[in-house]
Amino acid sequence: MPHEIAPRSGVAFALDRGQRLSVIDPEGGQVADLLAFNRDDIGEVISSGRTIDYASRLYLSAGDPLYSNRSNVMLDIVEDDVGRHDFLLTPCSKAMFRIIYGDEQPHQGCFGNLAEALAPYGVTEDMIPIAFNCFMNVPVDGATGEIVVLPPLSKAGDRIVFEARMDLVIGLTACSALQSNGGSFKPIHWEVA
């Protein structure tokens, strides 16, 4: 049975080198922000800037490695039912809900959920970079550079599977931003094999 992450919440857990993590969208249309840290040296963290540079591509899928800020491969994407994820944007946060949504009493968002879940592993807020946002659908206009956040393309039961290339701490959420999730908050499932 997979683990369930309740809507607008997050978890952290250990993932050993060689293990496979499945991130599953049980109802469809729900984003899951994923972070990875080197469990033996927590300053090493997933890096969108290095990964995109080496892939020469914004959109990553099965076959693509995810690199760290030290240019080591942390995870390989080994299966992908959806083919569209985001690796440009930081996790939603109180500040983001204030600036973009105008919320006066904002939710702590994926950023707060990740910070809370990862704190026992020694991760501080300033160490949280751009996440690999599973199922997040952010098309780019090549001419103007404009980006837009559309509902995910994931359908009920779709999954993306990662294989760990080092011993990791994983942070994972059921995303808290309305726009990213087609207007409703749903759970995320995950399992390790």
Which of these ranges, 19-27, 82-90, 113-121, 160-168, lies near a copy of itself under the rule CB under 8 A? 82-90
List the interface residues with a copy of itself, window 113-132 (CB under 8 A): 124-126, 128-130
Q: What is the largest CA-CA distance in the chain?
A: 45
Q: Select 24 or 177, whichever has its Cβ closest to a copy of itself.
A: 177
Residue type, 44: E
Quick one: which of 159, 192, 136 has its CA closest to 80? 159
The total of other beta-carbon atoms located within 10 Å of residue 138's CB is 18
Shortest Cβ 108–a copy of itself spacing (Å): 13
One of 50, 81, 101, 163 touching a copy of itself (CB under 8 A): 50
In terms of Cα–Cα distance, which of 109, 156, 105 is closest to 133?
A: 109
Least Å distance, CB 43 to a copy of itself, is: 4
Rounded Cα distance between 30 and 68, Å, is 25
* Sites of contact with a copy of itself (CB under 8 A): 43-45, 47-50, 52-54, 56-59, 69-71, 88-90, 93, 95-96, 99-100, 124-126, 128-130, 139-148
